[in-house]
Amino acid sequence: MKHFYAQDALRKAMSDTGAPEAPPEKAEFFLGGNPGKAWFVIAPSTAYVVALREDTVCAVFAQRANADEAHVGFSALVGTAPEPLVAVAQDAATLGPQDPHTRTAAYSWSRPEDKDELLFVLTTSDSPDATAQAMVSMSLVGKANNSFKAMPLRGTP
């Protein structure tokens, strides 16, 4: 979140931590076929991919995650916005994959007079075959249409 408006700082942070950049054929999956960059981050608990698209979408994919814990943490993080922004829970039915193994939640942050809003989306999967069991994204979208394209949790990178 802290790098959303300073994306060069995110690129530098990935470089400074030694996170390897994903080759284009692997990055394409995490970028949803859009231009951008993706990095692999290995942590003690799981592997992550940080994907930064050129169209204002930034996402983090976790290979393994506890869905309930991820949703509680997500709501705690984005369920309240810093003033003067207002957080609004969104209908996530069209913002993520829908099947018996997945669950999607979304919040937006904006001021009432704003035409755009920051949209935060979390999708989790309890399927052990999922490429990623959690994906969280942040993007700037128009309020009128929430023009955000969901990113996949299934498939092979």
Among 11-20, 91-100, 112-121, name the one with the lowest average pLDDT.
91-100
Is the backbone peptide bond immediately before 84 cis, with ω within 30 degrees of 0? yes
pLDDT in tens, 103-145: 999 999 999 999 999 999 999 999 988 889 999 999 999 986 5
Domain definitions of the chain by residue range: 1-62, 64-144
Higher per-residue pLDDT: 32 or 4 = 32
Q: Would you give the DSSP letter of residue 109?
A: E
- The tokens for 155 are 């498939």
Structure confidence by residue, pLDDT tens digits, 26-85: 999 999 999 999 999 998 889 999 999 998 799 999 999 999 999 999 999 999 999 999
* Mean pLDDT of the region 1-10: 74
Helix ranges restricted to H, the chain = 7-16, 24-30, 67-78
- Amino acid of residue 116: D
pLDDT at 155: 42
